[in-house]
Chain A
Amino acid sequence: MFLFRNVLILLLTGLITPSSHAGLTIEITEGIESALPLAIVPFADSGAPVNIRDIVNANLERSGYFKMMPESYMPAQPGNANEVNFSNWQSLGQNYMVVGKVNNIGGQYEVQFQLLDVYKSNQLLGYRMTSSATDLRRTAHYISDLIFEKLTGKKGAFSGRIAYITTDDSRLHRLQVADADGFNPQNIASSPEPLMSPSWSPDGKRIAYVSFERKSAAIYIQTLATGQRERVAEFRGINGAPSWSPDGGRLALTLSKDGNPDIYILNLATRALSKITKSASIDTEPAWSPDGSTIVFTSDRGGKPQLYAVSSQGGTEKRLTFSGDYNAAASFSPDGKYIAMVHGNGNSYRIGIMDMSTRAINVLTAGPSDESPSFAPNGGMILYASKEGRTGFLSAISIDGKMQQKLVFDGGEVREPAWSP
């Protein structure tokens, strides 16, 4: 879906000075990033129903890459680059700033923003876009993505969506999809019986999930735009842990039809089913590597749940994790360099991240009951489920562990988040 009817590059002659550092981007390497000072000036606004500046400010702050300048510290509130006195902002140590405005033009909103390099006194980005009132939040997320990518060199994840399961006090289970900041929740499915394990198709158009609506487990694939769904697995025993192949044509899943849980791959076009693991123990929670070559899964063949890897064609299985007495629910980073997992020691279950080249596990979260890690499409954040007392909520943490955010849902428990591709 194309979000904006009208996206114009805003050219402000006189401001754009040829830079000897053409195509300036800031390459931030995992682990050594330091937050960049960034000021997002309140937009000159003619009564838009959504505060675009505040959404962009919150998005970028939560990313962990930026140190946002509080509004009260700002020496002025220019709405346009022409009005900026750069030396004032330079003396405040601001590397970058964003100015913008929103104009109401006959029911539509024209949103304009400029990203400015304060020290070079020039413009890095300038856009003007028209949006309906209902699309203003999406516009704000899109602007966040543009700024994030320009300053970090990485794709933003603010326009993405998250799927998750909630249960309210009447024990009604819902699969919902919301914007990445938790707004705009849409009901995908609801049932008095459990719903589990949402997995996005690589194109973001469909979700596979587990439903117990027929009093036993079955796997469904549902198209978001139409609500149409199809039951793709309902064997005797477990039908669980669906995971979409990167090419979109296959679904890895867990079946126990032969007596104990094993990993299978279902070809969605031919419906052919191939058995990938054949151990006599529990094998479950398959996760595809982004290149489609490898499946990482959880197995208790060594006595405790640990992560193992196997070719997606089947073959020799290799144990990946050796530290901690519980490693489960693997999720690959989009570049395939990391695996996030549930890492348990004693009574504490936390989110860990393993560097695939060194196999070292870095524990990111405090626990004690963190689960269901899912990478953001830009690889910078991990979304997971956590619990405080009885209340389940979603959290996101940057992969260096420095930034964390929390999404509280006041309609009940929230769990099993999955970030859209």
Chain B
Amino acid sequence: MKLNTWFIASAFSALLLTGCAETEDKGANLIESGQNAGGINDAATNGINSNPYGTAGSEFGGPNRGYQPGMYGADAAANLGPEFSDPNNPLSKRTIYFMLDNSQVMPDFVPVISAHARYLVANPSQRIILEGHCDERGSREYNIALGEQRAQSVANMLKLQGVSDNQIEIVSYGEEKPAAFGSDEAAWELNRRAVIDYQGR
């Protein structure tokens, strides 16, 4: 099959420069105040706002420059003890990786989940959000469902070890928040994951 392509590059930019020709569509701005001051802009200022990764003007992010656990402050607010930053302690690992199109926890991660289960049982007021994520392949809403199954697999293991249902909230982001950018196996395996995100008490 021969594919002819037409490039309509700069189609969008041309209009951004001239601003909005129409005003009938009023966009809702969903940003809460103080959350991301650099991000509040409209189509007319697209592209000149600040970049939280400090890579403005160059290619965005490297293989590991995507969404990281706690990036939006929840982890930091949890005031976790030193055991969470000790690389020899399984509590320092809060990401569980998965095989393609699969939500079964691999044996390597069982000790990590068990360590978090023990901590959560000992600290019953501590709450977590379990994020489910997928790689970019396949359809987006199916990936939302797959990501939820991954988070649920981890949640089920935690609950079997005594963690209360009330301590766990599940949010699936599907492929919407990649930890690594790129379209190769190295990036994909970093993105197929569940993340344990400790919440502030």
Contacts and interface: CB of A to CB of B under 8 A. Distances in A.
How many interface residues does chain A have, given as a range? 35 or more
24 contacts: A134-B22, A181-B8, A184-B22, A187-B25, A190-B39, A194-B173, A196-B140, A216-B169, A217-B171, A240-B145, A241-B141, A254-B141, A256-B145, A282-B145, A342-B138, A349-B137, A372-B139, A372-B140, A390-B183, A404-B3, A406-B5, A406-B8, A407-B11, A408-B8
Interface string B99-116: 001000000000000000
Contact of B144 (A193, A215, A217, A407): A217
Contacts of A256: 145, 148
Interface stretch (B49-57, B80-88, B90-98, B118-126): B49-57
A226 interface: yes
Contact of A186 (B1, B5, B22, B139): B22
Contact of B9 (A216, A240, A389, A410): A410
Nearest to A193: B30
A355 interface: no
B138 A326 contact: yes
Interface of A: 58, 61-62, 134, 137, 168-172, 174, 176-178, 181-194, 196-197, 211-213, 215-217, 222, 224-227, 229, 237-238, 240-241, 254, 256, 260-261, 282, 284-285, 298, 300, 304-305, 326, 328-329, 342, 344, 347, 349, 365-366, 368-369, 371-372, 387, 389-390, 401, 403-412, 415-416
Nearest to A330: B139
B101 A304 contact: yes
Interface of B: 1, 3-16, 20-22, 24-31, 35-36, 38-39, 41-43, 46-47, 49-52, 55-56, 59-60, 101, 129, 136-142, 144-146, 148-149, 169-174, 176-177, 181-183
Looking at chain B's contact residues, the main secondary structure is: loop
Contacts of B182: 390
Contact of B26 (A227, A260, A368): A227
B28 A192 contact: no
A233 to B, nearest CB: 14
B141 A329 contact: yes
Nearest to B103: A282
Given A170-B50, A328-B139, A349-B137, 15 more contacts: A184-B15, A186-B22, A188-B25, A196-B144, A197-B140, A216-B169, A226-B26, A260-B149, A284-B141, A285-B139, A300-B142, A305-B139, A365-B3, A409-B12, A415-B140
A400 B52 CA distance: 44
Contacts of B101: 304
Nearest to A254: B141
B191 to A, nearest CB: 13
B86 to A, nearest CB: 28
Contact of A238 (B148, B169, B181): B148
A59 to B, nearest CB: 11
Contacts of A229: 28
Contacts of A415: 140
